[in-house]
A and B are shown apart, each in its own frame.
Chain A
């Protein structure tokens, strides 16, 4: 496997000036450690989910790797280049999409934005026309090309932004919350597009998101970051294990009230539907089911791992307790 992104001990320290308390008060400065030594590497062809709560340092990392931000210390290479030292050569090789912010020209029709990018990247006209045609067809934005960007819906704009980030055929794509605010249909089509891009063309993707369905659908590997430190580099199962490996038992029970064995806790109860969380380390699933059958009048049962959203919430709570 060819390694194409490597970050070594990235540290970013910002100095934030606070507003003066009064006209003559000295201005207070606060040091914010956005990254406190983050190291990881990504191989060609991977889709890696980059996760963490707000303010954990996700965007800061992406900014360093895309050459916008110079870290306080540490180093990184992308295609054996240090992004912030050779910004212009570097950005020619990568695609970046910020979900919250468009790369397109607000007042211009979509096609004009694409054509301008062709000029800015100095692309070969014929190759550009070909790429553009393929991407437009793939993302199904043919009808939008004559529309000014400001008139697009969020989902339409996002599809156009994704196309724009790929016109120069980058081998790496940084996606920062690409599905934020999108409706279900747009999300699904965006995910399918990213998956195909990765599978068929081998484009490496670093995906920052809060949408755990994105992660589940796309990423085999995740990096979890909290307060500027890398907390996990592994699979989704590793993530669940880190969160405590709890299981959720959804049971239909006749009795309104029933005792629970140690290691299990009732999370919710609606009519006959009870949701019980338990820790398989201390309480085996069959023991719980037997117990429910004996004491609660069990009718039906389903045992699942907690959703990724629940896993993340549990993890973020733990992080708060550990570091806060």
Chain B
């Protein structure tokens, strides 16, 4: 309760300071919307000429796309503080967080709430709705719930990625751009059914950075595709997001421990 109250107090104050630069906020939101819209148009153009992709229809792919983009937009809005953490370290402002009686992870999380990610969020939600509306049979309630859990799992996974990226700063002092390959590259890759990729890439997104476990796997089950997995695995898959976040938290702890014994 106390943590929630403090979270909102901190996050809303960040929103207020974003609103001080209103023009920049509006432009960023539009930019965020347009940038992700381009991806969506790309998919639409692809289907206009090929009709289907390895047995997946446009609507089914829109669901894949929607889940992963919605997840990423939410995670980026919530976890922007981790995305910008390199600056906190470089400017020596991490000490200031250590001087306050709250967990550092909580303080960094609460430090930013990036409203301009609304652009991608609307776009992702729109595509998801479009995809679901275009399915031949409407989903059951439990199927809808599964998708909601998948979005949540995706948020946790992307937060885990952002957290890993931020934790690396304790060692490198710089933001490792290689993580952008995983996030932005991951979004691009996971917007399509993983069947279209080579085995190693498919395995990468199923087991290493388990983005595919959060949209492809459950969707394939819901849409009755052939899968080399038992059906129940689709229901466990969203846990992969939580596991990935746990990994991020462990890395963060190790990073803070390192920082506090080296002072830089």
User: B6 touching A107 by the CB < 8 A rule?
Assistant: no
**Contact of B99 with A by CB under 8 A:** yes
Given contacts A69-B263, A87-B98, contact A108 B16 (CB under 8 A): yes
- In the complex, what distance in Å separates the CA atom of A70 from the CA atom of B256? 11
User: A63 touching B263 by the CB < 8 A rule?
Assistant: yes
The stretch that binds A, out of B36-44, B52-60, B88-96, B158-166, is: B88-96
Interface centre among B10, B16, B95 (most CB of A within 10 A): B95
- In the complex, what distance in Å separates the CA atom of A69 from the CA atom of B10? 25
Residue B17 contacts which of A60, A67, A72, A105 (CB distance < 8 angstroms)? A105
Given contacts A91-B100, A120-B101, contact A70 B261 (CB under 8 A): yes
Q: How far is the CB of B115 from chain A (nearest CB, A)?
A: 14
CB-contacts of B162-209 with A (<8 A): none
- In the complex, what distance in Å separates the CA atom of A12 from the CA atom of B263? 10
Chain B residue nearest to A107 in the complex (CB): B17
Q: What does the 1/0 interface line of B1-40 toward A look like (CB < 8 Å)?
A: 0100110011001001100100000000000000000000
Extra contacts, 13 of them, besides A68-B95, A103-B99, A120-B100 (Cβ < 8 A), are A63-B95, A67-B98, A68-B260, A69-B261, A70-B260, A72-B261, A84-B260, A88-B103, A89-B101, A92-B101, A103-B96, A120-B10, A121-B100
User: B100 touching A112 by the CB < 8 A rule?
Assistant: no
**Contact of B225 with A by CB under 8 A:** no
Chain A residue nearest to B102 in the complex (CB): A120
**Which chain B residues lie closer than 8 Å to A63 at the CB level?**
95, 263
**Contact of A25 with B by CB under 8 A:** no
Residue B96 contacts which of A69, A101, A107 (CB distance < 8 angstroms)? A101
Count contacts between A and B, CB distance < 8 Å.
Answer: 70
Q: How far is the CB of B89 from chain A (nearest CB, A)?
A: 14
**Which chain A residues lie closer than 8 Å to B13 at the CB level?**
105, 108, 112, 116
**Contact of B262 with A by CB under 8 A:** yes
**Which chain A residues lie closer than 8 Å to B93 at the CB level?**
101
- In the complex, what distance in Å separates the CA atom of A88 from the CA atom of B2? 15
User: A122 touching B17 by the CB < 8 A rule?
Assistant: no
**Which chain A residues lie closer than 8 Å to B102 at the CB level?**
88, 120
**A-B contacts, 19 listed (Cβ < 8 Å):** A34-B263, A68-B95, A68-B99, A68-B263, A69-B260, A70-B260, A84-B260, A88-B101, A91-B98, A91-B101, A96-B99, A98-B95, A103-B99, A105-B17, A107-B20, A108-B13, A116-B10, A119-B6, A120-B10
**Contact of A15 with B by CB under 8 A:** yes
- In the complex, what distance in Å separates the CA atom of A101 from the CA atom of B101? 19
**Contact of A40 with B by CB under 8 A:** no
Q: What does the 1/0 interface line of B57-94 toward A look like (CB < 8 Å)?
A: 00000000000000000000000000000000000110
User: B262 touching A14 by the CB < 8 A rule?
Assistant: yes
Chain A residue nearest to B107 in the complex (CB): A120
- In the complex, what distance in Å separates the CA atom of A116 from the CA atom of B95? 18
**Which chain B residues lie closer than 8 Å to A122 at the CB level?**
2, 6, 101
Q: What does the 1/0 interface line of A111-147 toward B look like (CB < 8 Å)?
A: 0100110011110000000000000000000000000
- In the complex, what distance in Å separates the CA atom of A87 from the CA atom of B13? 25
User: A115 touching B9 by the CB < 8 A rule?
Assistant: yes
**Contact of A198 with B by CB under 8 A:** no
**Which chain B residues lie closer than 8 Å to A75 at the CB level?**
none
Chain B residue nearest to A97 in the complex (CB): B99
**Which chain B residues lie closer than 8 Å to A68 at the CB level?**
95, 98-99, 260, 263
User: B101 touching A121 by the CB < 8 A rule?
Assistant: yes
CB-contacts of A69-114 with B (<8 A): 69-70, 72, 84, 87-89, 91-92, 96, 98, 101, 103, 105, 107-108, 112
- In the complex, what distance in Å separates the CA atom of A58 from the CA atom of B95? 16
Q: How far is the CB of B174 from chain A (nearest CB, A)?
A: 14
**Which chain A residues lie closer than 8 Å to B5 at the CB level?**
119
Q: 7 tightest A-B contacts by CB?
A: A107-B17, A119-B9, A92-B101, A68-B98, A119-B6, A70-B261, A88-B101
Q: What does the 1/0 interface line of A47-76 toward B look like (CB < 8 Å)?
A: 000000000000010010011111010000
**Which chain B residues lie closer than 8 Å to A70 at the CB level?**
260-261
**Which chain B residues lie closer than 8 Å to A34 at the CB level?**
263
CB-contacts of A19-59 with B (<8 A): 34
**Which chain A residues lie closer than 8 Å to B96 at the CB level?**
101, 103
- In the complex, what distance in Å separates the CA atom of A120 from the CA atom of B107? 9
User: B9 touching A116 by the CB < 8 A rule?
Assistant: yes
- In the complex, what distance in Å separates the CA atom of A72 from the CA atom of B260? 11
**Which chain B residues lie closer than 8 Å to A119 at the CB level?**
5-6, 9-10
